Structure 1
Amino acid sequence: MKHLISMADLTHDEIIEILDMATDLKEKRQRGKVTDLLKNKSIGMIFEKSSTRTRVSFEVAMSDLGGHALYLNTRDMQVGRGETVADTAAVLSRYLYCIVARVYSHDTVKELAEHSSIPVVNALSDLEHPCQIIADLMTIREYKNRLTGLKYAWIGDGNNVCNSAILGCALVDMEIVVACPPGYEPDENIVEQARKMGGKVTVTHDPAEAARDADIIYADVWVSMGDEEEREKRLTELAPYQINSELVDLAKQDVIVMHCLPAHRGEEISAEVMDGPHSVVFDQAENRLHAQKALLLKLMC
């Protein structure tokens, strides 16, 4: 694995290796042990979109590992004034050890990887968000002590995070059922790719079908960045897909409820569930840090 552009860039064994490393790094951080394994190395973080968790977790990850993270807003870069993505990748490759890119178009991160001689990490595109799913798998394993054989229910918009979840579940032999309104289904090519990988993927319009006997229930925002003009339409069409107590009651008694944040209580998830005993969302958010530290070590060492 040279780059992480898609969850499909990983193998099952690589995922387990990264998760094992992340768990070890988490334990060492809790004990205050120094892990400056990337001392004197720098990464560049190209951000076309705003961020809280992604930016902070990558910056802290590099600090914890003894390195340095440069935040590169495209409005302040020459790429914002017409320099090509290819030239940007070639130049940054001479300065840095890794490029982390949070972009609007998946083609941008693919082009960065094509023209870069250093690793490129997709920190979110319109098609996928693999960094989130690695942290999610870490969280699931912490709570369930396994990954294989679980039922994962995605309820809501079949967006970029959903696409990566579908591929991630296929890689670890976890069933995934996606429940969404007509027109909000996940990418058809991703679904077909996951099935060819041996994944058990069901796409339905019935949230109860997804939630029934689920081990994991997952929510994400209904109005993502770039969808603001469709806000009222989306809120209306997705309203029956709110994760609330009635839906959680259909799942297993020890179900965990996940959300990649930011959350809008009262929209995609009720406050009662978000703040309730099944919610693991803040452990999930924390694990972005540990999982990304492991990913950086995997790519840069």
Structure 2
Amino acid sequence: MKLLRISDLRAADIEAIWSLVGGGDASLRGTIAWSFEGNGIRTRTTFIQAFRDLGLAFTELPNLLKTDERACDLAGYLDPFYDAYVVREANHARLAEFAAASRRPVVNAMSSQGHPCEVLTDAFYLHTRVAPLERARVCLWGPTTNVLRSWHELAGVLGFPLRHACDRRFHETLDKVTFTEAAILPADVVITDGWPQGADDPRWSLTEEHLARMGSPMLLPTPPFSIGRELAFDPLRYRGFAGYAQKQLLLPVHKAILRHVLSR
């Protein structure tokens, strides 16, 4: 099974992953090839801890996909040594090429096109701790990023409505996603992400006034967040901030993802 984008999954796959969250640390057998571009402090921390908790051996292969070697050759040589790959690689096309060539599960730990593991974690939190997604009023705020794109895909797979408030140039026609430029409607949760390069626009810095007009919803800023860019204020002073502890769910969800892909 490949998990490059949430759109690679069926609703049944997502339900199966979520059903495994908190299911204990019974050991798995296997060796993971692990390649991680950039910092990714939380994702790196929780995947390494997940490998350890599940008894999985893991070998770091720095810059796995930065070589000029063909993806089919990399997969052909490496597949006999590994049971799965967990890769953070900005070049999504290169990651997809490798996944297509490999006979092993490949998990995208973040690429330019998506951040499926992060969004599966945040969506699980909302679905189980706030309101079922089919009833939750979820608002994405700001220009489209890899994280927000994964939210679009999740809404399409699970069939729940989603609102995305952003500049008109980022509007798309997507099933289940309603884009808006100015309307501020009631929300249960507002999700932001760091702005992509060149997207700086102070008109779209989320303010406490915006949140008040939406009914003071929960604020779930995707870290690392930047005060003065996507957020105009320090979220620590906002009563509805989801808090640091919310990201502790990355560990059990990452373990559930590994259990699911290795069982296929």
TM-score by length of 2: 0.91
Task: Please say if residues 75 and 101 of structure 2, whose CA atoms lie closer than 8 Å, have aligned partners that are also in contact.
Answer: yes
How far apart are 1:95 and its partner, in Å?
1.0
Contact 1:139–1:284 (CA under 8 A) maintained in structure 2: yes
1:180 offset after TM fit, Å?
1.6
SS of structure 1 residue aligned to 2:138:
strand
Q: Report the CA distance between 1:47 and its aligned residue.
A: 2.4
Q: Give the letter aligned to residue 193 of structure 2.
A: D
| Residue pairs, 1:76-91, within 5 angstroms | 80-91=66-77
Paired residue total: 263
Q: Is the aligned partner of 1:120 residue 2:120?
A: no
Correspondences of 1:102-141 after superposition (within 5 Å): 102-141=88-127
Which residue number corresponds to residue 280 of structure 1? 242
Q: Which runs of 5+ in 2 are unaligned?
A: none
User: Partners of 1:88 and 1:244 in 2: how far apart?
Assistant: 47
**Structure 1 residue 300, shift from structure 2 partner:** 0.4
CA–CA distance in 2 between the matches of 1:291 and 1:275?
A: 28
Match of 1:245 among 208, 211, 222: 208
Aligned-partner SS, 1:295: helix
Which ranges in structure 1 are unaligned for 5 or more consecutive residues?
29-34
SS at match of 2:73: helix
Native 8 Å contact 2:145 2:195 kept in 1: no
SS at match of 1:292: helix
Matches within 5 A, 1:70-219: 70-74=59-63, 80-183=66-169, 185=170, 188=172, 191-192=173-174, 195=175, 200-206=176-182, 209=183, 211-219=184-192
Going from structure 1 to structure 2, the CA distance change for 1:80 and 1:104 (only over 3 Å counts) comes to closer
TM-score (norm 1): 0.80
Aligned identity (percent) is: 24
Are residues 107 and 80 of structure 1, via their aligned partners in 2, closer, same or farther at CA, if it must alter by over 3 Å? closer
Q: Take 1:127 and 1:262, find their aligned partners in 2: how far apart are those partners? A: 18
1:3 aligns with 2:15: no
**Aligned residue identity for 2:186:** D
Counterpart of 1:9 in structure 2: which amino acid? D
Tell which deviates more after alignment, 64-73 or 124-133: 64-73
Query: Per the alignment, in what secondary structure is the counterpart of residue 112 of structure 2?
Result: coil
Q: Which moved more, 1:277-286 or 1:118-127?
A: 277-286
Deviation larger for 267-276 or 256-265: 267-276
Report the Cα offset of residue 274 of structure 1.
Answer: 4.3
Counterpart Cα distance in 2 of 1:201 and 1:97: 36
Aligned-pair Cα RMSD in Å: 2.0
Cα distance, 1:282 vs. partner?
A: 2.1
Aligned residue among 43, 48, 52 for 2:37? 48
Q: In structure 2, do the counterparts of structure 1 residues 87 and 274 end up closer, same or farther at CA, with 3 Å as the change threshold?
A: farther
Code of the aligned partner of 2:19:
D
SS at match of 1:290: helix
Indicate if the aligned counterparts of 1:245 and 1:272 stay in contact, CA closer than 8 A: no
- Residues in 2 aligned to 1:165 and 1:274: alpha-carbon distance in whole angstroms: 24
Aligned letter for 1:215?
A: D
Q: 1:54–1:290: structure 2 CA closer, same or farther, 3 Å change rule?
A: same
Aligned to 1:32: none
Map of 1:64 onto structure 2: 53
